[in-house]
């Protein structure tokens, strides 16, 4: 077991604490395997009635996946090790989604990408004043994976499409308003919440309700009209044109944000959410996302996006194709196409 994730039993609950503070607890393959093994063990252990998921020392809940590892795979092994990472990470996401015992995720801090993938399947999702939720993948030539298509496509009023394309960050109050969190607690109350849950895992909902407070107003609520109007289409060109036709401050800002993202993966995200909204089985979502990930990982935009945003920090990615119009339907179709049967994603 890796020390990057701390696993223990605490009273009548299993407790998983992410413990990679220098990387804001970003997930490695070893961490995914350790978490999955613990969940498998606890599922057969009658002494464990619920699971708590949080982070140990340092800031953040979980900033995502191991992006440096994935870029190295894209550049050096043709994406083989990166695909293995996605495959097993998605198995963990699916395992959590289908888990028979309640999971309580404490989203206290940065909750992005892979952190969304391990918090959204939880029955109870606790936001705090420190929560910063985002799916920022289009900024590095990726897409909102780890089940993002499922969760975002089910948000009201095109909010999911807005979050997927722009990578906008939501605070804890906004997460509660949108339904991405089930409870809002002050960070100072989390230790008490965890201790009480360990003693009374049959009373999780009551304990969290008793410790909840009224959050600040959700700022995103002021812009629900703008979001529903400008992001109403599943065509990226339509969204860009709609924003271009509005000279208001909000539209100007969001248009500039959108133009900084990978046109390829923005189009991928729009199709992903449209298809995800029609699915009834989360395993089908993971199968679709694995097909996408297998292709997008080795397309030019991913390595270039990580270079510009994370490695060199120049913020000047050269996307290929460079414009929405340059991303053909045929390219998107090829990214979504089935894999050879033996390569398709499979649940645990």
Closest C-alpha to 200, from 104, 95, 56, 96: 104
Residue 26 lies in a domain: yes
Residue 177 lies in a domain: yes
- Average pLDDT rounded to a whole number, residues 158-170: 98
Cβ pair 215, 184 in contact under 8 A: yes
d(CA 191, CA 211): 11
- Average pLDDT rounded to a whole number, residues 51-67: 93
Report cis status (omega within 30 of 0) of the bond before 299: no
d(CA 119, CA 125): 7
Residue 229 lies in a domain: yes
* Mean model confidence pLDDT for the chain: 97
Q: How far is CA 137 from the centre of its chain?
A: 9
Cβ pair 240, 270 in contact under 8 A: no
Residue 11 lies in a domain: yes
Residue 348 lies in a domain: no
Residue 300, token pair as written in the block: 């030019």
What per-residue confidence (pLDDT) applies to 1?
A: 46
Q: Is the pLDDT of residue 180 over 50?
A: yes
Q: State how far the alpha carbon of 163 is from the alpha carbons of 101, 188, 201, 289, in Å.
A: 30, 29, 33, 17
Residue 122 lies in a domain: yes
What per-residue confidence (pLDDT) applies to 58?
A: 79
φ/ψ of 184, rounded to 5, equals -125, 115
Longest distance between any two alpha carbons in the chain, whole Å: 60
What range does the domain containing 152 cover? 5-343
Q: Is the pLDDT of residue 2 over 90?
A: no
CATH number at residue 318: 3.90.226.10
- Average pLDDT rounded to a whole number, residues 99-112: 98
- Average pLDDT rounded to a whole number, residues 62-71: 93
pTM of the model: 0.97
pLDDT (tens digit, 9 = 90+) per residue, 187-224? 999 999 999 999 999 999 999 999 999 999 999 999 99
Closest C-alpha to 167, from 132, 120, 135: 135
- Average pLDDT rounded to a whole number, residues 66-77: 93
- Average pLDDT rounded to a whole number, residues 288-312: 96
Overall number of domains in the chain:
1
Catalytic residues, by residue number, are 65, 114, 137, 145
């Amino acid at each position: 077991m890796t020390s990057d994730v701390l696993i223990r039993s605490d009273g009548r609950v299993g407790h998983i604490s992410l413990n990679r503070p220098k990387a804001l607890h970003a997930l490695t393959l070893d961490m995914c395997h350790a978490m999955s093994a613990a969940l498998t063990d606890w599922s057969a252990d009658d002494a464990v009635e619920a699971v708590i998921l949080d982070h140990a020392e340092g800031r953040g809940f979980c900033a995502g996946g191991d992006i440096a590892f994935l870029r190295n795979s894209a550049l050096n092994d043709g994406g083989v090790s990166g695909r293995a990472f996605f495959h097993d990470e998605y198995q963990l996401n699916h395992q959590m989604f289908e888990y028979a015992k309640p999971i309580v995720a404490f989203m206290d801090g940065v909750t992005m990408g892979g952190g969304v993938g391990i918090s959204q399947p939880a029955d109870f999702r606790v936001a705090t004043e420190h929560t910063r939720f985002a799916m920022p993948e289009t900024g590095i030539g990726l897409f909102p994976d780890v089940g993002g298509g499922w969760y975002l496509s089910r948000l009201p009023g095109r909010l999911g499409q807005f979050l997927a394309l722009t990578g906008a960050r939501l605070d804890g109050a906004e997460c509660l308003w949108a339904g991405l969190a089930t409870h809002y607690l002050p960070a100072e109350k989390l230790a008490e919440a965890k201790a009480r849950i360990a003693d009374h895992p049959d009373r999780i909902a009551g304990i969290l309700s008793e410790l909840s407070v009224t959050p600040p107003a959700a700022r995103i609520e002021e812009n629900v009209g703008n979001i529903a109007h400008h992001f109403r289409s599943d065509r990226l060109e339509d969204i860009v044109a709609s924003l271009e036709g509005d000279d208001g401050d909000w539209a100007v800002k969001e248009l500039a944000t959108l133009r900084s993202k990978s046109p390829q993966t923005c189009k991928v995200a729009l199709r992903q959410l449209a298809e995800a909204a029609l699915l009834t089985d989360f395993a089908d979502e993971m199968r679709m996302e694995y097909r996408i990930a297998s292709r997008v990982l080795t397309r030019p935009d991913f390595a270039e996006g990580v270079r510009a945003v994370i490695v060199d920090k120049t913020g000047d990615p050269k996307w290929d194709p460079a414009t929405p119009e340059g991303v053909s339907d045929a390219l998107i179709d090829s990214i979504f196409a089935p894999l050879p049967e033996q390569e398709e994603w499979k649940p645990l």
